[in-house]
Amino acid sequence: MTREGDVVRAAACEFARAFEARLGSGRLRYQEPLAPYVNWRVGGPAEWFFIARTRTDLIVAVRTAREAAMPVTILGYGANVLVSDTGVAGLVILNRTEGMEVRGEEIWAESGMNLVTLARRACEAEIGGFEFLMGIPGTLGGAIVGNAGTREEWIGERVLEVEALDERNEVLLWSRAQLDFGYRRSRFQRTSEVVLAARLKGYRASRASIEAKMQRMLEARTHQPSGPSAGSVFKNPPGDYAGRLIEACGLKGYRLGGALISEQHANFILNTGGATAREIRALIQLAKAAVRERFGILLEEEVRFLGVWDS
């Protein structure tokens, strides 16, 4: 082994020792396959992998990795990410921090809280305003980062404040006015801050009315393509729909290996079995180029690309 290799190996061993000293032995995994943790079911391994079960887990893991100058990737339910076939360098933290408290019409929840679970527990507490989360895969943290929602409602409308770990490893509270929410946008997309928890505001409603709306949301989702996918690949451009534009380019049903542009909805790309991340990304690039050439519209991806890519 070269001297450089010795240095890298020694640094990795030191990181692992420090990590396990702070968070317990046996919890840090090496070269963990990521495909089982993402909706597309593709991608290579995480160099280092950890499941955060508590807010303290999450904070300590991020701080330890940063002290070792190691890249940190936070993964929720992998609903809107494409992991490269070569995997992800550094530490990947699977966020399963799921603490939640109801305070009147407000909900405090940790960032690893499943969105559907949040909506159901709000219903049990007779708090309306979260029904639109039914059928949206993912965690509260990921939803806040991407301001997830439907055409009519977004999580940003329900946020009062967000607790985050900033780049200096300090825990801060950001009010909604400071979060720069927009269509599929928030401040966290341009920072390295890690969302820890959020305070959300709903409204009083009967359980029956909440359940009825939740059922309508679920029924609307049944019309979407089934199978491993990340949901909508592209944001809708102003005044139009990405799916319509891609379909108009004749790309519905276009296939590369195991990856397929859905015949049901052209803004969905499905893993029909054995697809690679490279094939899925190639379809994304093909659709983007075709729409730009025909309509002069540059589509913007909703999905995040994780790991190392050739181009």
Q: Which of 307, 220, 303, 246 is nearest to 39 (CA)?
A: 303
Residue 151 covered by a domain = yes
Single residue among 47, 67, 95 that ends a domain in this structure = 95
Residue 43 covered by a domain = yes
> Domain check: are 119 and 213 in the same one?
yes
Residue 237 covered by a domain = no
> Domain check: are 113 and 58 in the same one?
no
Q: What is the CATH number of the domain that holds 172?
A: 3.30.465.10
List the structure tokens of 40. 């597309």
- In angstroms, the CA 306 to CA 42 distance is 12
Mean of pLDDT values over 109-120: 96
Cα dihedral angle (274, 279, 284, 287), rounded to 10 degrees?
-100
> Domain check: are 106 and 44 in the same one?
no
> Domain check: are 118 and 217 in the same one?
yes
> Domain check: are 85 and 176 in the same one?
no
Token match 């029904």: residue? 131
In the chain, what are the helix, strand and coil shares in percent, each to the nearest 5? 35, 25, 40
Total domains in the chain come to 3
Q: What is the CATH number of the domain that holds 10?
A: 3.30.43.10
**What is the per-residue pLDDT for 184?**
87
Single residue among 67, 95, 123 that ends a domain in this structure = 95
Single residue among 95, 128, 160 that ends a domain in this structure = 95
Cα 254 from chain centre: 26
Q: Which helix (H) or strand (E) holds 100?
A: strand 100-103
Catalytic positions: 184, 232, 302
Sheet holding 194-201, edge to edge: 100-103, 106-110, 194-201, 159-165, 171-175
pLDDT of 1 above 70: no
> Domain check: are 278 and 205 in the same one?
no
pLDDT tens digit sequence for 63-77:
999 999 999 999 999
Of all residues in the chain, the percent with pLDDT exceeding 90 is: 84
Question: Lowest-pLDDT range, 3-7, 65-69, 105-109, 137-141?
Answer: 3-7
Residue 255 covered by a domain = yes
Residue 227 covered by a domain = no
Residue 267 covered by a domain = yes
Confidence of residue 220 (pLDDT cuts 50, 70, 90): confident
- In angstroms, the CA 274 to CA 92 distance is 24
Q: Which of 190, 184, 186 is nearest to 300 (CA)?
A: 184
Q: Which helix (H) or strand (E) holds 217?
A: helix 207-221
> Domain check: are 48 and 8 in the same one?
yes
> Domain check: are 49 and 117 in the same one?
no
Residue 8 covered by a domain = yes
> Domain check: are 211 and 123 in the same one?
yes
pTM of the model: 0.92
Residue 171 covered by a domain = yes
Domain span including residue 147: 100-221
Mean of pLDDT values over 96-125: 96
What is the identity of the amino acid at 264?
Q
pLDDT tens digit sequence for 224-266:
777 899 889 999 999 999 999 999 999 999 999 999 999 999 9
Mean of pLDDT values over 13-28: 93
> Domain check: are 45 and 58 in the same one?
yes
What is the identity of the amino acid at 90?
G
Cα 232 from chain centre: 13
> Domain check: are 129 and 59 in the same one?
no
Q: Which of 99, 5, 52, 92 is nearest to 304 (CA)?
A: 92
